Structure 1
Amino acid sequence: MDAGMGETASISAKLGLALVFLLACSAFVAFQMGGVPQSGFLIAAAVIGGYMALNIGANDVANNVGPAVGSKALTMVGALLIAAVFEAAGAIIAGGDVVSTIKNGIIDPARMPDPQTFVWAMMAALLAAALWLNLATWIGAPVSTTHSIVGGVMGAGMAAVGIDAVNWPTMGTIAASWVISPVLGGLIAAGFLAFIKFRILYTDDRVAAARKWVPILVGVMVSAFTMYLMMKGIKKIWKVETPVVIAIGIAAFIITVLPVRKAVFRASANMTGRRKEIASLFRLPLVASAALLSFAHGSNDVANAIGPLAAIVSGINSGEIVTSAPIPIWVMVIGAIGIAAGLILFGPKLIKTVGSKITKLDPIRAYTVALSAALTVIVASALGLPVSSTHIAVGAVFGVGFLRESLNHRRRQVVNPPMLVDGSDNTEVDAHIEALRQIDPNEAEKAEKKLRKRLLVRRNYAFTIATAWVVTVPAGAFLGALLFFTIRGIML
């Protein structure tokens, strides 16, 4: 009873702090825009933008730090602080000074009958995306904020103009990303994990193998994140051609390998080859990756919160329909602070889901997930494929889990005595089965069969998350259309 009351009080306190943030947004905009025409509409839009930013922080940032927390490379408090700082820094430093108002070009703004209708559509889209993200966070499903806002814009656009306003080929590429992103992310993560297992963990001398391969693997990560940040993290303040990005990535690999090799030799001097000792070599790169992923995410996904808000502000101030709008500093601050606040207040739920509830992660597995997040974006960009960073990261977690299942089942079929997937003797379980065999051979056989079929990925999470991904755009579109009609009915 006391625990339940404590949890209720904690939730109430978090909701109260979120409300304080939204009230601060409205008070600040009222002070800034008090004499502007339609200032009340601007205040409402700022509150909705702040609400959207809170939900981005609560839902989407989990993908960046969840693996590090699940592997215990970072504590929850440490992850929240690192992600909040780097998310806000990415939004403010590299978020850009102009934002596209029609996300992904999914509707034709020229078909809007007047600026007022355009502003109503943007407000409906923003609120629809925020509400859907809120619901997804509540059920524990990490979803794409980009897809959420795409759905909201599509629905509001169809309600305002008609079905012909939607760019259906673009919507087709977005639908393709539902499959491409998680599959590509899962394959890359599983591929690197398999490489680490067979080249390091399944060798006779793990320490020697780690000294050989860990510096190269860390170099690959540094190279990938260097290119990832140049392509996604700082592209709005420094746009670099692809050959230059590749050259800098290669240089980053070369510069990294030698000092990391020396560090690995020092760290492994007294190692005996236990898996936990080898895994510890990946902790520092994993922490750095969480920070860099957060920075890149903040610089990109802040647009999901402030893009429609900037469109509303620009549309009201100029009286025109705009396809790209300057970002007032107060709009950027609302987005940056809102994402950080949403992460700290409501982010732990999804961080735990990504980090430990789908499958068990250690620093090695988490490393492959983080590396996959960067490499998949690079590969997809080179091939011109649409991808979602959320789907990539979660797909990578599933890829790691399913690979573990496959290897675990295979090794238990051929190895005697049975061994765990990481190569360590499962002595306690084996002893239990052997003792059971002396008492009841049939029960021992059932227990051993059950062990061989052990599932390392929780299927219920897979079903919930996959369903949420599929319905995100349609749900956002339905809410966007409904809210557009509501807003228009109130305003007319």
Structure 2
Amino acid sequence: MPSLSPDMIILILVVIMALSFDFINGFHDTANAIATSVSTRALSPRTAIIIASFLNLIGALTYTGVAKTIGGSIADPFQLENGLVVVLAALTSAILWNLITWWFGIPSSSSHALIGGIAGAVVGAAGVGSINMAGFISIVQALIFSPLIAFVVGFTVIKIISAIVANMAYHPTNKGFRMLQVVAASWQSFSHGANDAQKTMGIITFALISGGFMTPENGDFSIPLWVKISAAVAMALGTSVGGWRIIKTMGGKIMKIKPISGFSADLSSAMIITIFTAFKLPVSTTHVITSSILGVGASQKFSAVKWGLAGRILVTWVITLPATGLLAAACYVVYDVFL
């Protein structure tokens, strides 16, 4: 039996860690799609997780645009001499950060963690000049502006819907919105898979190219079928586990959620994630969904939102990119010595 080359061993480690990241992303971000529908009892936890798992899988298999952005916009995989170790360091950083924030029940961004990790590892390996600043800035802009837009859209949507149902009977209206929440949560789960799973596909493909295991034909940065399927399945399996700590935070600690507000938040965030996915831009589903909830809450009564907790979440958002970047650079230095 032929022995595996060092590069092949590192590639196998990268794939295992990338799929582990996708799995963790699944249970870390499950709460984003189903927290409001669970908290209003539109769906039971078990049913919500089954729906989210299935639609995450379908969404992950539907698009590849975001994967191509992640795989080629932050740095050129052909220009990195030690690209496999770069990816390994980035994934280590992102996984550690996800687990830390999950343990404390803070809905931080897996997207920020991964992108910060890639950038930090690339800088640690080849310096700041190796970063494709135009591509990196476009990704960061999408990460920054998408939650701001989600806040405004959530604020606006709840205002419009509230005006429409103002004179309707309370209990039948509540029942109707619980049914609509199922639709909105389903769309949100699909959009989550369509955007978030692409990031893992992109980083595996980045590793394949930088390690010399794959050469794009005619410059086309295509995603191998096995990468699509494995990433989609890993995220779906992670989603099936659920993230109850974060569900508790998203579903009630930020604000008291009613069916009409839950539907408005889910609808707003699903629209934003879908639009950014269509433009091949990665967004933080955590940021978008949390911002939608905050926008809905602020439109009804400013004091209804627990801004102290929201501020704590915001601080986590702000520090994720630099923290994971530094952690990834440190991981690269360690791996470069031992691998």
| 1:395 Cα deviation after fit | 0.4
CA distance in 2 between counterparts of 1:173 and 1:318 reads: 28
Equivalent of residue 234 in structure 2, options 335, 338, 341: 338
Corresponding residue for residue 156 of structure 1: 121
Corresponding residue for residue 95 of structure 2: 130
Corresponding residue for residue 119 of structure 1: 84
Name which of structure 1's ranges 297-306 and 389-398 shifts more when overlaid on structure 2.
297-306
Q: Is the 8 A contact 2:154 2:292 kept in 1?
A: yes
Alignment of 1:270-349 (within 5 A): 273=169, 275-316=170-211, 318=213, 324=221, 326-329=223-226, 331-349=227-245
| 1:198 Cα deviation after fit | 3.0
Equivalent of residue 320 in structure 2, options 472, 477, 489: 472
Alignment of 1:28-107 (within 5 A): 36-38=4-6, 39-91=8-60, 93-96=61-64, 99-100=67-68, 102-103=70-71, 105-107=73-75
Residue identity matched to 2:33: N
1:353 paired with 2:249, answer yes
Equivalent of residue 152 in structure 2, options 153, 175, 187: 187
CA deviations 1:322-372 (Å, max 9, x no partner) are 99354252x444423322232233422222222222111121111111221
> 1:460–1:97: structure 2 CA closer, same or farther, 3 Å change rule?
closer
Q: Is the 8 A contact 2:10 2:85 kept in 1?
A: no
Alignment of 1:179-218 (within 5 A): 179-201=144-166, 203=167, 206=168
| 1:315 Cα deviation after fit | 4.3
| 1:176 Cα deviation after fit | 4.0
Name which of structure 1's ranges 186-195 and 482-491 shifts more when overlaid on structure 2.
186-195
Corresponding residue for residue 412 of structure 1: none
CA distance in 1 between counterparts of 2:68 and 2:282 reads: 18
| 1:374 Cα deviation after fit | 3.3
1:398 paired with 2:246, answer no
CA distance in 1 between counterparts of 2:267 and 2:187 reads: 11
| 1:98 Cα deviation after fit | 10
CA distance in 1 between counterparts of 2:279 and 2:132 reads: 21
> 1:487–1:386: structure 2 CA closer, same or farther, 3 Å change rule?
closer
> 1:179–1:365: structure 2 CA closer, same or farther, 3 Å change rule?
same
Give the number of aligned pairs. Answer: 336
Residue identity matched to 1:55: I
Matched position secondary structure for 1:335? helix
> 1:183–1:346: structure 2 CA closer, same or farther, 3 Å change rule?
same
CA distance in 1 between counterparts of 2:189 and 2:248 reads: 17
| 1:181 Cα deviation after fit | 2.3
Residue identity matched to 2:124: A
Q: Is the 8 A contact 2:273 2:285 kept in 1?
A: yes
Q: Is the 8 A contact 2:30 2:49 kept in 1?
A: no
| 1:146 Cα deviation after fit | 2.4
Matched position secondary structure for 2:205? helix
Q: Is the 8 A contact 1:100 1:323 kept in 2?
A: no
5+ residue gaps, structure 1: 1-32, 207-272, 407-454
Residue identity matched to 1:37: S
CA deviations 1:140-172 (Å, max 9, x no partner) are 222332222211111111111111122334444
CA deviations 1:426-446 (Å, max 9, x no partner) are xxxxxxxxxxxxxxxxxxxxx
CA deviations 1:428-467 (Å, max 9, x no partner) are xxxxxxxxxxxxxxxxxxxxxxxxxxx3212232022101
Instruction: Work out which structure has the larger RCO, using CA pairs closer than 8 Å and 6 or more positions apart in sequence.
Output: 2
| 1:102 Cα deviation after fit | 4.6
| 1:285 Cα deviation after fit | 2.4
5+ residue gaps, structure 2: none
Corresponding residue for residue 253 of structure 1: none
1:489 paired with 2:337, answer yes
Corresponding residue for residue 418 of structure 1: none
Matched position secondary structure for 2:304? coil
Calculate percent identity across the aligned residue pairs: 27
Q: Is the 8 A contact 2:77 2:210 kept in 1?
A: no
CA distance in 1 between counterparts of 2:24 and 2:162 reads: 37
